[in-house]
Amino acid sequence: MSHASEHAADAPAILREVKPAVLPRAVLVENNRSFSWITEKICGIIEGKTPTWWWVCFILACFVASFTVAGLTYLVATGVGVWGHANPVNWAWDIVNFVFWIGIGHAGTLISAILCLLRQKWRTSINRAAEAMTIFAVVCAAIFPVFHVGRIWYAWFLFPIPNSNIIWQNFRSPLEWDVFAVSTYGTVSVLFWYVGLIPDLAVLRDRFFATGNKFRSFLYGLFALGWRGSNRHWSNYEMAYLILAGVSTPLVLSVHTIVSFDFAVSLIPGWHTTIFPPYFVAGAIFSGFGMVMTLMLPLRAIYGLKDLITQYHIDCMCKITLATGTIVGYAYGMEFFIAWYSGNPYEGFAFINRAFGHYSWAYWIMISCNVITPQFFWFKAVRENTALVWVLSIFVNVGMWFERFVIIVTSLARDFLPSSWGYYSPSVVEIFTFFGTFGVFSVLFLLFIRFLPIMPMAELKAVTPQADVHGHGGTTGHGAAEVQQAH
């Protein structure tokens, strides 16, 4: 709005005649909150007393996580045969869970990187938590392939480190590409997250110092690296942040592309399709946004963050879920079309079998959760009903887990030769291990919301109206609506 009036004098005559409508900017921080309100609100979460619900959740999460620890201990002690894999289904829950968790992580990078490049400022209130979600999801994802190697102490053979066998890794295999993709993804996500944290850690350092808590001041100060808010530093920092966003964008797209290569490069009917990379990336973003909403909506309610995560944010997230969910639905349809159109009998059978074979229950759960659920987000009334949005986001998570199950297990269980067909069911160890990863994720996430700022304070302040140096936002913290009237 400000620009329209600023440039009115030198605008073409036609613009002065027709007076184009001035669109209001969306308010990203509601109720004209001041800078110090933001600092107090976010630091208050860390500085306050540990709430009882936190301890309850933490103990519960530790209990759930112990299932993973127990399952993995049993696996390492006994052998990888304790999982239910057998010919012909030699890849099952392990890779399903791996792809599921990696996919969830992708929304975090999407929010922090792609939306940063697209200058979607609404990302600022959710990007920190979403990035944390990415890192913890990658941790959960990595558990499965690493333990699936069986002899976990040889897992370093995955990397090109000289070993006594002299042989090198097979770089022609998409599985080796995946090792590089996922480890790069994990590393870059941690770096990106940490760089974003540096200024906020400095805030905590100085606040704890001011209140005399020398120990915590030292700890936060150690990781704040001596940050002092110098504008000469901000200049380089902002550039570095932009570049990290710039490299994370192709990274997030490439990671799920390479994950899909694990399947698409093979010859199994139902896997060997060129639609896989875009279809997997869309599915990953879809499931990730489902998880972001599952996590952020309760946090928003518990900590009273309604002025920071506004209805506008929820609307945006719902719309992205709707868009990516619809892309995923289109991909399901297109897979069927290509199976018929290609005239390949194996491909055709694989898809008929998916929908009407032994695993049809899983297929229809997938369709209901992934294709039908997001369509509710067309309606404003649904998007404004936070409880309903939360329930729908859970359906998205469930549906996306089943998508990977359907793709992986149905294709392997019914391959080329009927003599080799089989039916896979998970063993109790697998179920426990997977169930426990939700505990691992929750433990990490609870520690994060207790000890680190859950929203990027510096970035939030920078999008408030009073941050504008030309005073268009008003200097006393006036909201955009008032400014618009003033012009």
Partner 1 sequence: MAAQPHGLIATFETTPDLYHAAEQVRDAGYRHWDCITPFPVHGLDKAMGLKRSIVPRISLAGGITGFITGMTLIWWTGEVDYPLIVGGKPMFSPMFAFPVSYELTILFTAFATIIGMLVVNGLPRHYHPVLKYDHIVRGMDDTFFIVIESRDPRFNLANTKALLEKAGGKAITELEP
- On the CB side of 91, how many CA atoms lie within 13 Å of its CA? 19
Binding mask 242-261 for partner 1 (x = CB under 8 A): -xx--xx-xx--x---x--x
Q: Which of 71, 103, 199, 283 binds partner 1 (CB under 8 A)?
A: 199
Q: How far is the CB of 359 from partner 1 (least distance, A)?
A: 30
State yes or no: residue 13 binds partner 1 (CB under 8 A): no
Compute the distance between CA of residue 413 and CA of residue 420 in angstroms, rounded to an integer.
8
State yes or no: residue 39 binds partner 1 (CB under 8 A): yes
State yes or no: residue 263 binds partner 1 (CB under 8 A): no
Helix, strand, or coil here: 89? strand
Please, which residue, 237 or 402, has the CB nearer to partner 1? Answer: 237
State yes or no: residue 120 binds partner 1 (CB under 8 A): no
How many CB atoms within 10 Å of residue 112? Answer: 28
Give the binding-site size for partner 1 (rule: CB under 8 A): 68
CA-closest candidate to residue 293, choices 170, 386, 199: 386
Q: Which of 66, 184, 344, 360 binds partner 1 (CB under 8 A)?
A: 184
Structure tokens at 189: 């996500």
Compute the distance between CA of residue 98 and CA of residue 142 in angstroms, rounded to an integer.
7
Question: What is the per-residue burial (b if ≥16 Cβ within 10 Å, else e) of 390-409?
Answer: bebbebbbbbbbbbbbbbbb
At 76, the amino acid letter reads: V
How many CB atoms within 10 Å of residue 345? Answer: 10
Q: Which of 65, 104, 140, 188 binds partner 1 (CB under 8 A)?
A: 188
Compute the distance between CA of residue 412 and CA of residue 88 in angstroms, rounded to an integer.
6
Structure tokens at 451: 């000890």
State yes or no: residue 3 binds partner 1 (CB under 8 A): no
Please, which residue, 300 or 461, has the CB nearer to partner 1? Answer: 461
Please, which residue, 442 or 466, has the CB nearer to partner 1? Answer: 466
Q: How far is the CB of 109 from partner 1 (least distance, A)?
A: 12
At 50, the amino acid letter reads: T
Compute the distance between CA of residue 96 and CA of residue 178 in angstroms, rounded to an integer.
15
Sole window of 77-85, 187-195, 312-320, 404-412 interacting with partner 1 (rule: CB under 8 A): 187-195
Sole window of 105-113, 219-227, 356-364, 399-407 interacting with partner 1 (rule: CB under 8 A): 219-227
State yes or no: residue 213 binds partner 1 (CB under 8 A): no
State yes or no: residue 280 binds partner 1 (CB under 8 A): no
Q: How far is the CB of 245 from partner 1 (least distance, A)?
A: 10
Question: What is the per-residue burial (b if ≥16 Cβ within 10 Å, else e) of 306-316?
Answer: ebbbbeebbbb
How many CB atoms within 10 Å of residue 435? Answer: 14
CB-based contact 421:413 (threshold 8 Å) = yes
State yes or no: residue 197 binds partner 1 (CB under 8 A): no
Compute the distance between CA of residue 403 and CA of residue 400 in angstroms, rounded to an integer.
5
Sole window of 97-105, 150-158, 233-241, 281-289 interacting with partner 1 (rule: CB under 8 A): 233-241
Please, which residue, 318 or 455, has the CB nearer to partner 1? Answer: 455
Please, which residue, 19 or 172, has the CB nearer to partner 1? Answer: 172
CB-based contact 6:100 (threshold 8 Å) = no
Residues 148-177 that bind partner 1 (CB under 8 A): 160, 166-174, 176-177
Q: How far is the CB of 226 from partner 1 (least distance, A)?
A: 4
CB-based contact 258:174 (threshold 8 Å) = yes
Residues of this chain that interact with partner 1 (CB under 8 A) are: 34-36, 39, 160, 166-174, 176-177, 180-181, 184, 187-188, 191-192, 195, 199, 202-203, 206-207, 209-210, 225-240, 243-244, 247-248, 250-251, 254, 258, 261, 457-459, 461-462, 466-471, 475
